[in-house]
Amino acid sequence: MAEFNFFILVQNLEILVILAEFKIFDFCMEKLVGRQEEQRILERILQSKGAELVAVYGRRRVGKTFLIRSFCKPYLVFEFTGVHEAGLKDQLRNFTMALQKVLKSAVSKTEPANWLQAFANLDLYLKKLSKKKPAVLFFDEFPWIHTQKSGFLQAFDHWWNHSASRHAHIKVIICGSAASWMIDKVLNNRGGLYNRVTQHIRLLPFDLYETEQYLRSRRIKLDRYQVLQIYMALGGVPHYLRHVNPGESSARVIDRLCFTKDGVLTGEFRKLYGSLFTNPQHHEAVVRALAKKSKGLNRNEIITACGFTSGGTTSKILNELEESGFITRYTPFQKNENESIYKLSDEYSLFYLRFIEKSKATGAGTWLRQSASQAYASWSGFAFESVCQKHLRQIKKALGIEAVQTQISAWRYISRGRQGAQVDLLIDRADRCINLCEIKFSTAEFSIDKKYAGELDSKLSVFQSETGTRKTVFLTMITTYGVRPNPHSIGRVQAEVNMDQLFV
């Protein structure tokens, strides 16, 4: 009996290893949370009357694979994942193994010599499937499959154009973390895939509402201030959030993940950029430069700060970072796109550069001690501002202007002869009003004192005189716990948004 039980135990362990290897274990344990718009898109794809080619892209760890596997599970007939930095022979062998898996037998004793033959083998399998329900084929880590001189992309577009696209029940989903590659090689393809993608999904990290729902789904109970603290440090990246344990405070979570020797996020920074970009040192240079400037930098300032010499190279790097969700471009009020300001919008990158990279302190209590420093005060303001700029839909709803057409921008004025002014968020409305937003992070109700009230009045005056706007300008405060009513706030603050209103 003991030998029998040991045999069963070994079998179960082997099954768990296999599930973990194919990322199925997490899939079985967790349920799909949030992603409502993406789910609606995928539902339309499955219900459509024609063949579909869907491109899904987004930064590493954002949950692309989990979304497709979870939503499309009943219709998933083939899944193939590219191997990072593998050669043609290994990719073809991996493809054959994936095909053998769904057939539950060997396709042939010999592996295909090229991708054209590999797709011909795939067609033999697809012909056996019923055409009465959707058949989803999922190609994960698509950019990794197209190795140098492999001919994969050419074979894929030939297969799509001459075979897959002719069958209404076929739904092909291609997915990749290298967002710039997906855009250049697939969405903007000038060859056989030109204008062939029927739908694309850019998957972004969770917003605050989705983050709260995800944590609750894992039986983690934290108040919104604690959730906000975690979000400001880690962002809404599902893979990072899944390492939050029940019963831990936000400070303890950050300590464990970021300030211990084996913390999951201690060395994530270099892995993150190295896995997405060919020459990640250039992208890191831009991120490091922006991390030092909460007000952001324009293109020329970035070139100077990073020591770049080629304007064309800079444009490519900025575009890749923007499409991958690490930076955000803002067009200043009354300016054109050539005068755009770039800001760092990836929470983890900012947190890593400000605290993790040069940290000498480790272990329990590290982050709690940091929270009493001036560096914390500077970071919390920067990070909260970034969070607010990702929740513009929620801010507009809180202001009651969700149905009003708006343009979102920033504004700054620099002058030697007059006091300068900086506005991080402007909501320019079609109803001839402007919300001039001040974003302030605080551990309690924010109190406007006499000095700050004077600064607000000056900023409002400079903005109106320098822009010449004839629109009504509403001073709007976006804070964690609201603004404490006092003689300096009453009558001056025209509108408010608090932390809770971002969680919708």
Coil, strand or helix at 172 = strand
According to CATH, the topology of domain 31-202 is Rossmann fold (3.40.50)
Paired residues of 422 in beta bridges: 412
User: Nearest 5°: CA angle at 109, between 106 and 111?
Assistant: 95
**Which residue(s) pair with 55 in the sheet?**
174, 200
Q: 107-127 b/e with 16+ CB inside 10 Å = b? A: beeebbeebeebbebbeebbe
- Kind and range of the H or E element at 181? helix 179-182
What is the maximum alpha-carbon separation in the chain? 90
Residue 72, CA atoms < 13 Å, CB-side half-sphere: 29
Instruction: Measure the CA–CA gap between 88 and 183, rounded to whole angstroms.
Output: 23
Domain 391-502: state its class: alpha beta
> For the whole model, what pTM was predicted?
0.89
Query: Residue 494 — φ and ψ, nearest 5°?
Result: -95, -20
Between CA 344 and CA 287 the distance in angstroms is 7
Whether the Cβ atoms of residue 96 and residue 125 lie closer than 8 Å to each other: no
Strand, helix or coil at 38? helix
List the domain boundaries for the chain: 1-27, 31-202, 206-389, 391-502
How far apart CA 110 and CA 94 sit, in angstroms, is 13
- Nearest-CA neighbor of 70 among 102, 38, 103? 38
- Compute the distance between CA of residue 252 and CA of residue 365 in angstroms, rounded to an integer: 7
- The alpha carbon of 264 is separated from its chain's Cα centroid by a whole number of angstroms, namely 18
Six token digits for residue 239: 């893979």
Tell how strand 327-330 and strand 341-344 pair up: antiparallel
**Contact between 176 and 153 (Cβ < 8 Å):** no
DSSP 356-414: ITT----STTHHHHHTTSHHHHHHHHHHHHHHHHT-HHHHHHHTT-TTS-EEEEEEEE-
Q: In angstroms, rounded to a whole number, what is the distance separating the alpha carbons of residues 81 and 25?
A: 16
> Which class in CATH covers the domain with range 206-389?
mainly alpha
Q: pLDDT per position in the chain (504 positions), as tens?
A: 444 343 334 344 443 333 343 333 343 457 899 999 999 999 999 999 999 999 999 988 999 999 999 999 999 999 999 998 899 999 999 999 999 999 887 555 578 999 999 999 999 999 999 999 999 999 999 999 998 889 999 999 999 999 999 999 999 999 998 888 898 899 988 888 889 999 999 999 999 999 999 999 999 999 999 999 999 999 999 999 999 999 999 999 999 999 988 899 999 998 999 888 888 999 999 999 999 998 899 999 999 999 998 777 899 899 999 988 999 999 899 988 888 999 999 999 999 999 999 887 677 788 988 888 889 999 999 999 999 999 999 999 999 999 999 999 989 888 776 677 889 899 999 999 999 999 999 999 999 999 999 999 999 999 999 999 999 999 999 999 999 999 999 999 999 999 999 999
